[in-house]
Every structure is written in structure tokens, then in C-alpha cells.
Amino acid sequence: MSNWVINHGLSALVIVVWLGINIFLFVYFYMFYEFNPEFFYTRAILGSALAWARAPAACLNFNCLLILLPVCRNLLSFLRGSCSCCRCSARKQLDKNITFHKLVAYMIALHTAIHIVAHLLNFEWFNNSQQSNEDTLDAVLSRLGNNNSLWVNPIRSDTTTPTYVAFTTVAGLTGVIITLALIIMITSSTDTIRRSYFEVFWFTHHLFVIFFAGLVIHGIGRIVRRQTAASMKVHNFTFCHNRTAEWGKIPECPIPVFEGGEPMTWKWVLAPMILYVFERLIRLYRSQQRVVVTKAVVHPSRVLELQMQKKGFKMEVGQYIFINCPSISQLEWHPFTLTSAPEEDYFSVHIRSAGDWTDGMFEAFGDSRKETWEQIQPSIAVDGPFGTASEDVFRYEVSVLVGAGIGVTPFASILKSIWYKYEKSDAGLLTKKIYFFWICRETQAFEWFADLLRSLEGQMEQLGKHDFLSYKLYLTGWDSTQATHVKVHIDKETDVVTGLKQKTYYGRPNWDKEFQAIAQTHPKTTVGVFLCGPQPLAKALEQCSNKYSEVNPLGVHFHFNKENF
């Protein structure tokens, strides 16, 4: 339980506060519109549907204020740098930005649904009251004058329909546009579409521009009206509401005057919109800086390595960048973890061919013909770098690194950096032990990373640091031919798959066994667990991190971190 608090306590507190504010806003504005005297006559037409429409609108304003902040990556990187003196458990909450972004989006969808249903009922009540020929209070109110100071019912004609009003008024039309944009953005953000059709997700998600534009102007029609304060002083609704025939004929009951509420949404979203504009301007400036691709290497399993240089580029281990290739797509930017070390004079990424855009990159840069490479080198733009949880790997005395497939990329940067640090005899390195696990489906996937491990393995031996790095490579897919080959060469000093001294394991790791062994080897130690891989693996590692952490504050504790971008 204590380790759950360490890993999730601050996140849980943020969620509780966020939910608490949503509940408070909903209840407060529901009560305000349901019982405030100035809305008495509006409620006479609409009933409780007025409060049910306005309460979620207040929550929408609050959540639309928040929705852009988690995707301001430069802001998050700045906060991460500002919090460098804070504990890792507090700083790593910034890595859950996308999760919070999704939660806020779901809350926006929920309140939008409530808001729409309530307003559909409102339009129906407005229309029914306008078409009524009776002398009921709602009908009399709907027949009040046509000038802006008198009317309370925005439907001014008895020949119209709620549907017509919805598509001809500012509030109705912008509401339809906002709703369609929101539906498209949310449905195209599902994991299936985002992973299989990233381009669809990328383009549809930029409908947020239309969403916010519609949101700002949604309330300028001021169709939700209330009795003015001056009118309430001379027209007491408690006395006059059942004397509609005498309105304007006796001094006690002059005709009530109404006014629309001031649009408030722009006040909520203006600051985050300005902040996001600055975010995009920074990205635009970075994207215009010249990037030189110094080397392109094609690795097995259709993995492309790009080594690049850019003036003023500074990075830390585990960070990531966004890459744009105009010859493939002018608008698409894709995130990739940096695989180079900060000590190197270039920065690099490894791109696996797994979609239209990555296939285009492989074709553009993976052509080994020398004349093509020298003469027709495509230009690319780079934005970043941006911080991730892996930056904290050297803040732990013991670190556990787990990569699945191409998810090994952030750890390439980390292991390279270790190499350079020990090459310089860096005695200030806090980390004393690293456990590295890499899980792959194909034997070819090991090849591009094996050279780095082999070099690091040899260097640690020369420095007398045999125990600094413990690594295990797991192959999850093999056939009978490979199994026979391994069996024949089982006595060889090096592994037949990777050429490393550490033999390859077949199958999947027993995480309970691994965590138990680490806990026994490093008592009274805080261990950082870092993953770049799929969600099922994340769930298993997080469970083990909580399970094998001791309740005793002085015992072993596993802090789980996952890459998110």
C-alpha cells in the first residue's frame, strides 16, 4: 500500500481535486439556475432543464481550460527542469500528461452529452410555449416584445421548429459544429485507429481549432436570459407571476425586462489558448532550423537509424523528438525516442517501418545507392527534445530497464551515456547497478543493439565493473530449426543468436522471480523501474513493483515509470 502511495499518491490527489472541482461547479451552478430569483420566469418556460443545461456548461468551461495544458510539451519540459530538485515520485507525474489529457476529454464528452440533451429539451419547451394560444405564464412570457430588452423566449415565430432553430441560431449552429468535431476527435483517438492509422488520428485531432473557435462564439447569442436587476426592483415576480393579465396596467406589475448572460467561456480558455499558441510558435521556430542527416543505417527487421546534427541541439538521456519530412507529409509530425547519448556529437533515432509515414521514411533514407543518398537527400525538420521519465534513471542507485521490441530505444541512449561516463572515470555517478531486460519476437531484432551491448560488456570488464550491468534478452518467437541450432551450440562461450556472453532466454520473463531476486539483492534500496513497451507489460511490472515493495520505509521500494508520448 505504501508503494502504491509513492507511485500513485500524487496522481490520485490530482484526480480527486479535479473531480471535486467538477462536482462543486456542477452542484453550485445547478443550484444557482434552479433557485436564483432572476431566472424564475425563464424556469417558468424551461423547468429544471435550464439548470441541467447550465451546470455542465460550467464544467465544460473548466475542463476546456485544462485540455490543452497536458499537450504543451515545452511547458512540461520547463516544469520538469524547474522540478529537478524535487523527488522523482513528484516529478514523474508530468509523464502522465497524456492520461490526464484523455480523462479531461472524457469529462468534456460527458458534460457535452448532458448539455446537448438539456438544450434539446429547452428548444422543445421554448417552441411549445411560443405556439401556445393559452394565457398560461409560459405562453405570456413567450409573447413578450420583439426588442432585446423584453423577450425571454429566443424563438420569436410560431411557425418554426426546434430543428430549424438549432441550425439557424449562433448557439445552435456552433453547438452542432462543436459536437461533430468532438465526436470525430474522440472516435479517431482510440488505440486501434491511433496505432494502425496514425495519419487519421493526426489530421482529425487538429479539429480542436474548430472546436475552440466554436466554443468561444457559442454564447454570443445570449439565448439564456434572466430578469434584469432593475426590473426585479419594480416587478416582484412573487406578486406578479399569477397576474399576467395586469402586466403593464398596474404600477406594481410593469412588463418584466430581460437580458442575456454575458459569454463566459472565452475568459476560461483565453489563457490556455494563448499558451498553446506560444507553444506552436516555439515548435515552428525549431522546425525552421536546419537539420543535417549525417548518416543513415538500415538495420534488420526494417529498422532505419538516422544520425543527425542541428545547431544548438542539447539533449538528456531518454528524451524524444518530433520529426517531420515535408517530402512525405507537410503537416505530420511523429515522435521518436533519441537513441544517442548526450556526450555524442550527433543525435540519432531508430525508426521501424510500421505504417505509411514510416514506410516513406524507409524508402527516402533507406536507399543504399550512394548517388541517391548524396544527391537527393530529403530534408527533415526536428522539434524537441522533450523530457520523459527515463531522464531520472541516474537518480536511482539501482535501475531496472525493460524494453519490448523497438521500445528498447530510450535505453540505448542510457547505456551509451553510461559508457561515456565510465570512459571519463565519472565517480559522481549515483547508479551502481543496472538490470536490463529486452523482449523481442524475432532474432534479427537483436542485431542492431547487440554491438552496443557487446562494447559496454567489454568496457565494464576492463574497468573491473563486471557486476554493474546485468542484462537478459528474451526471444518470444522461434521455430524448430532455430531451436535445434541453439541446442547444437549450447556449449559455446558466446550466444549463437547475439554473439554476447549472456545467453538468450526463450519465452517470457518470470517477473515475480526477477523482482524477488532484485529485492533480496538490494535491501533498503529505492529501485527505479523503467518501461518502454505495451500496456499489458506495464500492468505486470507495476503489479510486481507494488507487490515486492516493503511497507517499512527503510526497506526496498520499486518506483515504476513508463514512457508516454
DSSP 260: E
Mean per-residue pLDDT of the chain: 81
The pLDDT value recorded for residue 285 is: 86
Q: CATH top-level class for 389-445+456-477+498-535+544-562?
A: alpha beta
Q: Does residue 27 register a pLDDT over 80? A: yes
* 389-445+456-477+498-535+544-562 has the same fold as 289-386: no
CATH domain 289-386 topology: Elongation Factor Tu (Ef-tu); domain 3 (2.40.30)
Task: Please give the average per-residue pLDDT across 375-397, as a whole number.
Answer: 79
Name which of 72-81, 207-216, 230-239, 438-447 the model is least confident about: 438-447
Task: Please give the average per-residue pLDDT across 32-49, as a whole number.
Answer: 91
Residues 6+ apart with CB under 8 A from 263: 216, 218, 219, 220, 222
Distance (Å) of CA 231 to CA 143, 257, 415: 18, 6, 74
Please spell the DSSP secondary structure of 322-367, one letter per residue. Answer: EEE-TTT-SS--EEEEB-S-TTSSSEEEEEE--SHHHHHHHHHH--
DSSP 315: -
Name the range with the highest mean pLDDT among 51-60, 226-235, 292-301, 507-516.
Answer: 51-60
The pLDDT value recorded for residue 67 is: 93
Provide the percentage of residues in the chain whose pLDDT is more than 70: 82
Task: Please give the average per-residue pLDDT across 375-399, as a whole number.
Answer: 80
The pLDDT value recorded for residue 502 is: 64
Task: Please give the average per-residue pLDDT across 547-557, as a whole number.
Answer: 78
Q: Residue 231 corresponds to which cell in the numbers above?
A: 426590473
Stronger pLDDT, 82 or 362, i.e. the higher one: 362
Residues 400, 511: Cα–Cα separation, whole Å: 12
Task: Please give the average per-residue pLDDT across 451-465, as a whole number.
Answer: 68
Contact in structure between 149 and 257 (CB atoms under 8 Å): yes
Residues 537, 403: Cα–Cα separation, whole Å: 10
Q: Does residue 488 register a pLDDT over 60? A: no
Stronger pLDDT, 156 or 36, i.e. the higher one: 36
Model confidence band, residue 177 (pLDDT cutoffs 50, 70, 90): very high
The pLDDT value recorded for residue 273 is: 93
Q: Does residue 517 register a pLDDT over 80? A: yes
Q: Does residue 197 register a pLDDT over 90? A: no
Domain ranges of the chain: 2-169+221-280, 289-386, 389-445+456-477+498-535+544-562
Model confidence band, residue 487 (pLDDT cutoffs 50, 70, 90): very low
Please spell the DSSP secondary structure of 357-406, one letter per residue. Answer: HHHHHHHHH----HHHHHHSPPP-EEEEEE--GGGGGGGSSEEEEEEEGG
Stronger pLDDT, 140 or 370, i.e. the higher one: 140
Model confidence band, residue 72 (pLDDT cutoffs 50, 70, 90): confident
The pLDDT value recorded for residue 371 is: 46
Q: Does residue 140 register a pLDDT over 90? A: no
Q: Does residue 546 register a pLDDT over 80? A: yes
The pLDDT value recorded for residue 182 is: 94
Task: Please give the average per-residue pLDDT across 236-242, as a whole number.
Answer: 88
Distance (Å) of CA 221 to CA 34, 90, 156, 332: 22, 44, 14, 37
Task: Please give the average per-residue pLDDT across 136-149, as a whole number.
Answer: 77
**Phi, psi at residue 306, to the nearest 5°?**
-115, 125
Quote the pTM value. Answer: 0.79
The pLDDT value recorded for residue 162 is: 75
Q: Does residue 84 register a pLDDT over 50? A: yes
The pLDDT value recorded for residue 8 is: 67
Model confidence band, residue 66 (pLDDT cutoffs 50, 70, 90): very high
Contact in structure between 69 and 272 (CB atoms under 8 Å): yes
Model confidence band, residue 489 (pLDDT cutoffs 50, 70, 90): very low
Task: Please give the average per-residue pLDDT across 226-252, as a whole number.
Answer: 88
Q: Does residue 2 register a pLDDT over 50? A: yes
Model confidence band, residue 98 (pLDDT cutoffs 50, 70, 90): confident
The pLDDT value recorded for residue 538 is: 85
Provide the percentage of residues in the chain whose pLDDT is more than 90: 17
Q: Does residue 169 register a pLDDT over 60? A: yes
The pLDDT value recorded for residue 118 is: 93
Residues 456, 415: Cα–Cα separation, whole Å: 8
Taking only the tens place, the pLDDT of each residue in 267-304 is 999 999 999 999 889 888 888 888 888 888 887 767 78
